[in-house]
Structure formats: C-alpha cells, structure tokens
A and B are shown apart, each in its own frame.
Chain A
Amino acid sequence: MEPLLTIQGPEAALFWFLAPLSVIAALGMLLVKKAVHSALLLAWVMITLAIFYIAQDAVFLGVVQIIVYTGAVMMLFLFILMLVGVDSSDSLTETITGLRPIAITAALGFGGLLVSLLGRATLGREAVGLAEANAAGNVQGLAALLFSKYVWPFEVVSALLITAAIGAMVLAHHQRTNARPTQREQAVKRFRSGSLAGAAGLPGPGVFARHNAVDVPALLPDGTPAPSSISATLKARGDVIDSGQFQLDNVDTTVAEEK
C-alpha cells in the first residue's frame, strides 16, 4: 500500500540539519553558567521548533511560536534577568547531595524508555498528512475549529489570560509603607547627615569623580588649588579637603574593578 505521507528529501534534510542543533542548544542551556546565555540558547531552540512547525504544515503555529515565544516570552525572560541582575550566575556545583547523579539516571531512564516506547508504538494505519485538512488554508482550518468545536475552551483560556495578567500586576505591585520624601526633605537630610561630603549630591552617571566638588578646591591650570573656589563657611568649619590627592600625578589611574 502506498503510504499517504512520505517525508521528502528537503524536509528530511532540514530535520537532520536542525534537530541536532536544537538538541545541542538545549543541552547547552543546561550547561552554561550565565542565565543570559541560557535564554539565548532557548530562543534558538524555539526558532528551530518554529521552523519544524512550518515544515509540518502548521504555518500559523510556527508564526505564533516566533512572535509569542521568541518575541514576547523570551523578551520577558530577558527583562526579568535584567531586573534581577544580569550578572547573576549560579555555580554549577551541586549543593543537595546525590541529586545530580540520581536526576541524570532518572532522566536517562525516562528518556530511554520513552523513546523505546515510541519506537514500539504503532498507530495501526499510515500517517495521513494535513493536505486535506489544510485545503482551505491552515489559518482558516484552525479558525473553523477554534470558533466552533473549541469555542468554550477558547473563552475559558481567555479568562485565564486576563486573570494571569491581573495576578501578575497584584504580585508585582509594591505598596509604599511611608510617604515619598519630597525634594526639600531629601535636601535637608543630605545637609544634616554627618559630613557635608554628600551635600552636593552624587555625581551624575558617566562622570568619573572620586569626590564631591563642593569641599574640594578647584585646580588652577598649573595644578594648584584655587582657594577662592571654596565657600568661606566651609573653610571656617575646616571641612575643606586637600585637593593635592586629586592632582593628576597622584591619582592612581589603574582603577580597580569595583565589585
């Protein structure tokens, strides 16, 4: 009997090319240290899967896979990674004794048995292929099913989606326990606390500064401090810092990486 579905050369070639790559990427996900790398590898696996969907006449799902997963979900992952700290990497040494060998054994058993089961399983008939079902187009076919046979699950799932969105908002919402300090209060606090070193505020981003400028005299072109650049009050209080340490000769330009 002529099999209805045969997988022709190009698709087989595509499979044998992409399948090993996706498995390698998945394994890499397990083994790399940094979460960001894991995320990128996962994105790659998802793209190969999208290609497989399209190759298997599931065009709509393939596109959705790329838009929703690689587009939205993976971005969300990366976004959270940024939030939590992109540098956070866990050491791959195991802390729970004996977990890893047991897990790998169990997984090998599980996967091996599953593959062997699949190999043994017979459908009793040949694979059909989607040529007939997709006759009017894949999207139209899915839509016909989704809005007739599966309309109830569809509505339920939409309710679930809304619930999840609200749930996430509730979880992520942070309630202030005290009033937000005004600028005036922040300024008063800066001046009242200890030394006046922080009175001018922290330096802006991108500025290499070792100290606030208010209590440090400006340097004249010849490198000597300019006393007139310091407030008389600070001088009277003795809060002036010697600027000699900031002269170019004295500055240690090999900046140690700050942790």
Chain B
Amino acid sequence: MATNSGLVYLIALPLFGAISLLLLGRRADKWGHLLATALSAGSFAVGLFQLSEMLGRETEARPVTQKLFTWISVGSFNVDASLLLDQLSICFVLLITGVGTLIHIYSISYMSHDPDRRRFFAYLNLFIASMLLLVLGDSYLNLYVGWEGVGLASYLLIGFWNKKPAYATASKKAFVMNRIGDMGLSFAIMIAFASLGTVSFSGVKEKAEFASEATMTAIGIMLLIAAVGKSAQFPLQAWLGDAMAGPTPVSALIHAATMVTAGVYLIVRSNFVFDAAPNAQLLVVIVGAITLLFGAIIGTAKDDIKKALAASTMSQIGYMVLGAGLGPAGYAYAIMHLITHGFFKAGMFLGAGSVMHGMNDEVNMRKYGGLRKFMPITFVTFGLGYLAIIGVPPFAGYFSKDKIIETALNAGGAKGIILGSITLLGAAITAFYMTRLMILTFTSPKRWDDNQHPHESPALMWIPMSLLAIGSVASGYLLYRGEALKHWLEPLFEKHGEHTELLPPIVVSGLALLMVAIGVSIAVIKYQLSDIDAVAPENVSIFTRAARRDLLQDDANEALFMRPGQALTSALVKVDERVVDGTVRGIGQMAVGSGTALRKSQTGFVRSYAMLILIGAAALIAAIWVVTQ
C-alpha cells in the first residue's frame, strides 16, 4: 500500500489548535476562535486535497498509509501508530472537517457572549483531532485512542457549563455510559490480540477466515457493545438526551453529525468480523431495529426541542446500525445515510440553536409558535432539513433511508418482512414527530410571552445553516446517482450475491411515501388544526407518560444497575470497615500494644542503657569463650 506523508496534517492541525489554545490561556482569548476555525478549515482543505489525489489513482491504489512511529514492540506483537486513509475514511474525514468547520464558524457568533469561548474552541479542536484519529487509525488500538479522545471531548463539552450541577451530572452520565461501551471495545481488542495475535484492521481481516466462528462472534459482540455505547443505541441510549446540556453547536457536531456515528463506522469498518459472525450480525440488526422505534417513540413525546432532535438522532442512527447489520448489501447505505444525516441533522440542530438564540434560550416547544415570520432563514433551512429527514423526494433522506428500507425488506424470509415493517413504521413515526416539531415551532399560532423578542440570527450563524441545508438537499442525490457511493466503497467489502427482490424499488418507495404521508397527516390534524396548550397536558395515556419519561430508560437503569450497585457498594463498605479496616486496625493496635509494653524497658536512665551494653559485652565475651573452647 502506498504511503503518504501528508495524512498527519489532518490530525496535527486541529491538535495544534487545541494544545495552543489550552496552553496560551487568556492570552489567546481575542483570537483563539479564529485560529481554531482556520485550523479546522485547513484540515478540511487537506482532506479535499487527499480526495483529489485519491480520485486520480486506480481503485486498488486508492488507500494510502502513513507510519508515524513504532508504538508498541513486544516480541512478535508490534503496533505502529500509523494512519490509513481509504475510501471509507475519506468520507468521514470530509464530513468531520467540513461540518466541523461550519460549526466552528457558527459557534463564533453563538458563543460570542460566553467568557470561556476560547476554551470551547480548544475542546472543539480537540474533538476534531480525536475524531480524525478515530477514523484514520489503521488498527483497533489506534482507533481506541481516538475513541477515548472523542469521549473526553464529548464529556468536556457536555459539561461545558458545568456551573449548573445538572449539566455536570449529564456529562458524568454520558462519560460513565460511554465507559461501558469502551470496555466492550477494549475487550474486543484483547480477544483479537489473544486469539488472532494482531489488532490491525488488515491483520484481523486476513485472519478472520481462519478463525473460529465463536471467536469472531465474541469479537463482534464486543464491538457491538462499543458501538452501542458510543452511538447511544439500545440499551445504552440513556445518555444522549441528557447530553443536550452542552452548547447547541456541540449537540450538532458531536451528538448528531459525527461522534455518535462512530459506532456505525466501527461496525462498517469491522465488516469482515461481522461477515464471519452471522449471530453477531443478527444482534446488530436487532439493536438497530429496537433503537429505531425506541428513539422515534420518545421523539413524539418530547417538548424540549433539543431532546426531540436527540431522540430523532438516536432513531436515525438505529437506521444506520440496522443497515450496517444487513451485511454487504447494507454497508454502503448505512454510510450514505450517515453522511446525509450528518448534513440535515447538524443543520436542524443549528436551526434549533438559532431559535433558542432568538428566544432567550427557551427550549420548550410549547412556548414557541409562529416563528416562521420572525426567523425566515431559520425556517427555510430547518424546513429543508425536515423534508430531508422525513424522506420526501428529492431531498437527501429520501435516497438514503429508502435504500435502507429496501435492503431491509430484501433481507429475505420473515426477517426481511419484520425488518421492513419496522423501518416503514419508523418512517411514519419520524414523519409524525418531525412534523409536530415544525408545527409547534414555526407554523402554529404564537404562544410566547410578550417580553420575548424573536429575531433572526446573525450572518455568521445562518450562513453555515444555509450551507448545511444545501447539503441536506443535494447530498442524497449526489451520492445515490449511479450508485456512486456504493461503487466507491465496494472494494472494501465482500462481494455479495444478488438478492431476490421481495418488492420492486418503486413499490417500496411508494409504500415509504405513503407511511410518511400518514405520519404527516396525523401530526397536522393533531397540532396544526387544533389548539396547543402552552403547558404540557397532564391527563394523558400511560404510553405518552412513559414516552415523556424516555420510555422509562432511566428508571430501568436505576432499578437494574444503580440500586444493586449501591447495595453492592454499601455491602462492600461494610466488608471494608469490618474485615479490611479491622485487620489494619488490629495490626496497628498490635504495634501500639507491643510498643507500650516495650516502652517500659526504656527508662530514660543512661545507667540502665549502660548496663545493657555491659551485659551485651559480657554475652559477646561468653560467645567467644564458648567458640574458642
């Protein structure tokens, strides 16, 4: 594989930004955000340059590597810190740096009143660098470094306003739940090392066909746990909603467009593992399907605009995971949906940020309404993202989501029918809750107080929104046209046989559009054509109540893990107090007791010491006397 010494700049630029902003401290307050944005844009430029070079090469010669240094060298186990840029990585590189740069620009304005703006940009750059390392690492171990790096950046950014205890708790929650996933990844690495003797992607791929299925299943399940943790999939989904405590640009970049999709990247990158482990693959599909519905249902009940969008993110990543679990047929579509989702969801989050910016940081949609007139640009860009997510042709989501639905239906047998139905149902629910969000925010009568003065956001904010909106419109078609993305990624995956088509594509599209229409109509009837309370009604069905409580995810976590954990901890504390401390204290008391006893021999009288010396001398002489007998 060809080497390319330019890859390191992708990571080095934002990393330099993060380090210098953090080290320079307040001296960089005036220009830190500009430097960070410029470095992120520079990284994007390097990415574009790499893409142009890659396009100029033959298909086989497209992946390039760069060895940075020998990291671990123990006997036969060698890990180099090296980077790998192939067709899959470049998609992510461009998404991360492109969307990342737009969000940097947006944040300049959004965070302009925050005294800690420099620190915010340092963390953003740190995130960009870590995320790039994640997608550029050529082995699971290198990926793991980036994986932890984004976890750290996410933690720092969710808790950016950590003066509010609730926000600090939210960041801690995200961190702890991510840890569970990270544990899965480290187990996967350990299993790979122990049974395959290598942790690099190419090495594992080579050995995958010789390894037993049980080994691959174990690695696959561990990787799935990692993906579940990072991508907020069932059952580790509870942290994403709380992660909205962070500033909105963070939610857009990290918790919508990039970091949470790292799980999908991991599954697609490890396609050789899952291809060799059908059971693990099935588990991936199940997780995706459950999360898809789970997130969608939560989304219908949320009044907090950011939490509704977070639930939607969860659900859309469910689509991606489901697609990735469908094997070679679905990988490309999972990535395609990931990219289009990156555009429209980031755009909508920025739109939500813009709305909050104009509404004094009010997040309750029931206190919005009629904002179309006051924020026309936000309305248009948000609307384009809305059309993209619900899958109206020819917007981006239509192409990517329809392909996943189609692939799911074609998975064969009962599995195909069940998965197809779930994805179609998900599409309907998505249409419902997104329409509800649009109506509550923009088109329904106004419900805000008179002391609110909604206004359009400054250009630095709406320009990135517009660019993302263009992406939401065009990206789907561009990637779909002539199966462009599929052919681009094809060399990385196993070839797959043709599926028998359960239904022709046009019928699937028709079905999907029908479901969307049903969802939209229900929402319009329920919200546009009837009155909306400014306060959430209390006399609602038990299902609504459960959905408002995130389908009891936190209660389940508390009952299943927290309380037993607390009980275990208090039991351990007792053991610690009685047994461990008792032993330690006993030893201490023994020492004190013997000291007290021995102290009596220490009279302090010089003469008694002298006498002991005399006795010792006598004993010495006696010993010599005996020995020389």
Contact = CB atoms under 8 A, between A and B. Distances in A.
B617 interface: yes
A99 B607 CA distance: 9
A23 interface: no
Given A96-B603, A116-B625, A120-B628, A110 B611 contact: no
Contacts of A117: 621, 624-625, 628
A186 B617 CA distance: 58
Contacts of A113: 618, 621-622, 625
Interface residues of A, number: 13
A245 B618 CA distance: 68
A220 interface: no
Contacts of B624: 117
B134 to A, nearest CB: 71
B606 to A, nearest CB: 11
B615 A106 contact: yes
Interface string A107-140: 1011001101100100000000000000000000
Contacts of A106: 611, 614-615, 618
B77 to A, nearest CB: 60
A103 interface: yes
Contact of A103 (B605, B611, B622, B628): B611
Nearest to B617: A110
Nearest to A116: B625
Nearest to A110: B618
B608 interface: yes
A109 B622 contact: yes
Contacts of A120: 628
A95 to B, nearest CB: 9
A103 to B, nearest CB: 5
A179 interface: no
B614 A110 contact: yes
Given A117-B624, A117-B628, A96 B614 contact: no
A96 B607 contact: yes
Interface residues of B, number: 14
A168 interface: no
A110 B615 CA distance: 8
Interface in B576-627: 603, 605, 607-608, 611, 614-615, 617-618, 621-622, 624-625
Q: A96, A110, A114 — which one has the most chain B CB atoms within 10 A of its CB? A: A110
Interface in A152-199: none
Interface string A8-29: 0000000000000000000000
A106 B613 CA distance: 10
B448 to A, nearest CB: 83
B611 A99 contact: yes
A102 interface: yes
A106 B615 CA distance: 6
A255 B605 CA distance: 41
Contacts of A103: 611, 614
**Chain B at the A interface: mostly helix, strand, loop or mixed?**
helix
A110 B611 CA distance: 12
**Chain A at the B interface: mostly helix, strand, loop or mixed?**
helix
B608 to A, nearest CB: 6
Contacts of A116: 625
Given A99-B608, A99-B611, A103-B614, A110 B603 contact: no
A106 B625 CA distance: 15
Nearest to B605: A96
Contacts of B611: 99, 102-103, 106
A253 to B, nearest CB: 47
A121 to B, nearest CB: 8
A106 B622 CA distance: 11
A101 B3 CA distance: 93
A116 B626 CA distance: 11
A113 B623 CA distance: 10
Nearest to B611: A103
A211 to B, nearest CB: 47
Nearest to A107: B614
B50 to A, nearest CB: 77
A102 B611 CA distance: 8
A110 B624 CA distance: 12
A47 B611 CA distance: 28
A91 to B, nearest CB: 15
A180 B624 CA distance: 61
A109 B618 CA distance: 6
Contacts of B617: 110
A102 B622 CA distance: 16
Interface in A30-51: none
Contacts of B621: 110, 113-114, 117
Nearest to B603: A96
A106 B603 CA distance: 19
Contacts of A107: 614, 618
Contacts of B614: 103, 106-107, 110
Contacts of A110: 614, 617-618, 621
B6 to A, nearest CB: 72
Nearest to B623: A113
Contacts of B622: 109, 113
Interface string B394-406: 0000000000000
B616 to A, nearest CB: 9
Contacts of B628: 117, 120
Nearest to A113: B621
B501 to A, nearest CB: 105
Nearest to A102: B611
A231 B577 CA distance: 88
A99 B612 CA distance: 10
A96 B615 CA distance: 16
A116 to B, nearest CB: 7
Contacts of A114: 621
A116 B618 CA distance: 13
B104 to A, nearest CB: 73
A119 to B, nearest CB: 11
A96 B625 contact: no
Interface in A56-99: 96, 99
B421 to A, nearest CB: 100
A112 to B, nearest CB: 9
A99 to B, nearest CB: 6
B11 to A, nearest CB: 67
A96 B621 CA distance: 26
A147 B8 CA distance: 76
B389 to A, nearest CB: 91
Nearest to A114: B621
Contacts of B607: 96, 99
B608 A96 contact: yes
A126 B611 CA distance: 37
Nearest to B615: A106
Contacts of B625: 113, 116-117
Nearest to A103: B611
Given A103-B614, A106-B614, A109-B618, 5 more contacts: A96-B603, A99-B607, A110-B614, A113-B618, A116-B625
Sorted nearest first, the 9 A-B pairs with minimum C-beta distance are A110-B618, A113-B621, A109-B618, A106-B615, A106-B618, A113-B625, A106-B614, A103-B611, A113-B622
Interface of B: 603, 605, 607-608, 611, 614-615, 617-618, 621-622, 624-625, 628
23 contacts: A96-B603, A96-B605, A96-B607, A99-B607, A99-B608, A106-B611, A106-B614, A106-B615, A106-B618, A107-B614, A107-B618, A109-B618, A109-B622, A110-B614, A110-B618, A113-B618, A113-B621, A113-B625, A114-B621, A117-B621, A117-B624, A117-B628, A120-B628
